[in-house]
Amino acid sequence: MAELLRTKARKPQYCSLGPVAFLLIMLFLVFFGAGILSPRMPMLGTRQEGAGEAAEKPISLPVVTLPRMVYPQPKVLTPSRKDVLVLTPWLAPIVWEGTFNIDILNEQFRVQNVTIGLTVFAIKKYVVFLKLFLETAEEHFMVGHKVNYYVFTDRPADVPRVPLRGGRRLLVLQVPGAARWQDVSMRRMETISRFCAQRFLHEVDFLVCADVDLRFRDHVGVEILSARFATLHPGFYRAARRAFTYERRPRSRAHIPRDQGDFYYVGAFFGGSVAEVQRLTSACHRAMTADRANGIEAVWHDESHLNRYLLDHKPTKVLSPEYLWDEQLLGWPAVMEKLRCVAVPKDHREIRHR
């Protein structure tokens, strides 16, 4: 009580300014509300081009009209799939049949007017796979969207002529061959990284990097697109991490200890935005260069370095093995409702060493 009295005794005396303050505030709001704070008012010290014409012509903004779409309502308590994992621990979707509505996705990407680049390396005798690869891509890959096929080859004269849909282009990029297939595989990272800077950043919005000895068998569309996506290896999607064929030697930049690892990703089908693919391929190329300087080569070459990179930089989307399967070796299990992209049977010894 005494402290309260002391506080009151020290309190200075003021004149009543209520009406005056209210009047000043009202004048301030009227003045600024009418002009300075108006969103249409240009910044002080600047002059808009065509200011004299602005009063005569209405501002014209692009109008995007989406078609009315009718589709089943998603149900919170009804999961899209009960038999498989559909979300990673870092909240990246895992894409399986039944987990997406392609009509919704197609409209979203059409509004963005995206162009997708598909890179493929047809070096030495691997050029024999190119015709089937391109023909089946035209049937199933990104149908309805603009696509640039980037074919890297040391045999440009052997690239087949395949009829293309409207808005799709085939671009042949000559690169040197290599004595070993392992070098062809590892050079891919350097080449993609270099071409990202030289042209891909200016020509496409997303890149899909695929092996040529594949064929598209069912729909592969914009559902795969994300900043950084990777595909579960068909041979390891059921396996524990201790069984993954990661690079286990600590000397290698691709080394992953046995108590680490999320999934084992296949090197034959990955991609993302051009900027992210450039970062990924540049990092893998630098790691392989460092390994070469230290006299070591990762057990599965660029795929080993891809898995190391994706452990540290998690994919923003993971593709199920539907997107790369080997029916000859693995059959067709019930969990695979569709086989979208499959390996082409071949004699590895015959193809790789000629």
Distance of CA 42 to the CA centre of its chain: 39
Nearest-angstrom CA–CA distance, 138 and 309: 31
What is the residue whose two structure tokens read 């009829």?
A: 163
In DSSP terms, which residues pair with 210 in a beta bridge? 120, 269
**In DSSP terms, which residues pair with 87 in a beta bridge?**
93
What token pair was written down for 48?
């808009």
Could you give the strand order of the β-sheet that contains 168-174, starting from the edge strand earlier in sequence?
94-95, 317-319, 228-232, 265-273, 206-210, 115-122, 146-153, 168-174
Q: Which residues does 38 contact at the CB level (< 8 Å), separation at least 6?
A: none
The answer to whether 96 and 337 are in contact (CB under 8 A) is yes
Inter-residue contact 129 to 100 (CB < 8 Å): no
Q: Which of 139, 100, 83 is nearest to 333 (CA)?
A: 83
Residue 308 parent element (H or E): helix 301-312
223, 105 Cβ separation under 8 angstroms: yes
Residue partners of 160: CB distance under 8 A and separation at least 6: 130, 131, 134
Examine the residue annotation and report whether 97 is marked as an active-site residue of this protein. no
- Find the catalytic residue in 303, 327, 337, 350: 303
How many Cα atoms occupy the beta-carbon half-sphere of 120 within 13 Å? 25
What is the crossing angle of helices 301-312 and 181-195, to 10°? 40
Task: Name the pairing type of β-strands 115-122 and 206-210.
Answer: parallel
In 3D space, the residue among 187, 123, 118 whose CA is nearest the CA of residue 156 turns out to be 123
Element (H, E) at 94: strand 94-95
Alpha carbons 229 and 158: distance in angstroms, whole number: 31
Residue numbers annotated as active site: 303
